[in-house]
Structure 1
């Protein structure tokens, strides 16, 4: 079965790396035809038609740092770095706004958010502490003091469906709303393969040993900037030893329970609220239910 489509993927932008590396070419695009993505901090502006709102470079503050997002319909697209970054989950106000966007706009915004948030949080050199300056159209920051070069980071995270006898293991974190369960997830640590990270995280969080790990799909997640690597694994048994410092609860759900929760809509049923539409956990569970 083909990998399912996921939110925040499929950006229509031409990233135009050749232009990033050519200051003259980039400068030549910074004219009245260039477009500026409207942002309120990190929240996107939305038109009455439910599309991303764009302005011109004249709308940017005089001292704004601009990053080059790429080309769209032949026009150069930029975004301004906000005064402060978030470095974490989205502002709760953003979820309603994001629900209005079509997939292409959502993907474009997600990439822009990750990039400008990184700039806002990395204005000083990690090596010597001196102020850094943007380079390569905003896809790099350089330190004039020590010569260090810094690049936008993407942190790999495994997120996995664990299956045993036609049931799925899902967990809930303390920050989740009541009855909301999702796939287990965790950062890939240095020196690990994806398969090893899946096995370690499931064992640490739920005490379950897994095998036959397979890749399903991935998702760029811009809160702040992760690559969610969706996997499926088989459990050797169904006995649980839950790490209560990581999870409030974990349990096995039957196919029928998950189908019922999906059909119940955003409020779920008496047992479980299905993961939100933007999350790859929802995509993975849909994939498992429908395959």
Structure 2
């Protein structure tokens, strides 16, 4: 295990300028939707349309056939970021009737917007339409940022249609980054819920793994929990470990962070140490917890009896940081994931 922070986390790779000052102009979305150079990423439920590198033709009109060929299986097989890309199109007239999100500009000045399609989207078999969990690890830096930011904003809009102060309807403004109360004019901003996630290592350099109370057999990860009001990140690490497994940590070192729009979190990673090894599991939170050596964890991976966190999660990277290797290098390819 090195002392270096985690680099290039899957959902922390956004490369666009968010142009916050530009979003304040009331006419900015109208201008962008009138400009054929604007690139539009459509959001259907929790999915965006994805294509492989050699076939990025996008539909140009509603109902036009798409050449997208990517699938969830394709994404799970992708070995490196950049293997997949989002379908991006020019603005269409009906976009004006939808929720539009100004997602930023690239170095060439090209603007990118997200357009949220109305209504339910329950068909997971639509060709090329993948969730962020399926596609995020394999997307380019730009497209990973577009998907992550667009999904987080869409999730917020879906649950904040009314003013928390007076109950009146709210309407989107400032490029989709603010909702304004129609009655009293108060502004409401997207919320992000911070959560800490941490490896815990004992004096024998064993890693603590836990299985959530409602998780299936074999699904283990490092511990995590939300930060409470008035609490520092380090204090949250200590409290969550004490609550879930009954031990006291000695220290916690920052490792990195990434957005986690499921629906609206940011995960702050730490590496913690403890001299205590006797676990007292909270049955409300945890089904079981166990210490593993690196050799034991490698054996469990090869046997397929442990399911690792998904490739886009900081949890997987934290485990690999302790392991000193990637999960795929241990298993010779892929491994059972959530």
**Would you say same fold, with TM above 0.5?**
yes
How large is the RMSD of aligned CA atoms in angstroms? 2.2
Moved more, 29-38 or 279-288: 29-38
Aligned to 2:149: 111
Counterparts of 1:261 and 1:106 in 2: how far apart (Å)? Answer: 31
Count of residues in correspondence between the two structures = 280
Residues of 2 paired with 1:289 and 1:112: CA distance?
33
In the TM superposition, what is the alpha-carbon distance from 1:61 to its structure 2 partner? 4.2
Shift of 1:245: 0.8
Q: 1:159-170, aligned counterparts within 5 Å?
A: 159-164=197-202, 165-170=204-209
Aligned-residue offset at 1:47: 2.0
Residue matched to 2:58: none
What is the aligned partner in structure 2 of residue 290 from structure 1? 324
1:240 aligns with 2:279: yes
- Extract unaligned runs of 5+ from structure 2: 54-83, 122-129, 326-338
Out of 54, 61, 72, the residue aligned to residue 88 of structure 2 is 54
1:17-56 paired onto structure 2 within 5 Å: 17-25=20-28, 27-30=30-33, 31-49=35-53, 50-56=84-90
Note the 1:1-291 alignment, pairs <5 A. 1-4=3-6, 5-25=8-28, 27-30=30-33, 31-49=35-53, 50-58=84-92, 60-72=94-106, 73-83=108-118, 94=131, 95-98=133-136, 100-164=138-202, 165-261=204-300, 264=302, 269-270=304-305, 272-290=306-324
- Kept in 1: contact 2:28–2:175 (CA 8 A): no
> Structure 1 residues 284, 127: CA separation in 2 closer, same or farther (over 3 Å shift)?
same
Alignment TM-score, normalising by the size of structure 2:
0.77
Q: TM-score, normalised by structure 1?
A: 0.88
Structure 1 gaps, min length 5: 87-92
Report the CA distance between 1:39 and its aligned residue. 2.3
Which range moves more in the overlay, 18-27 or 202-211? 18-27
Provide the C-alpha distance between the structure 2 equivalents of 1:135 and 1:32, rounded to a whole number of angstroms: 22
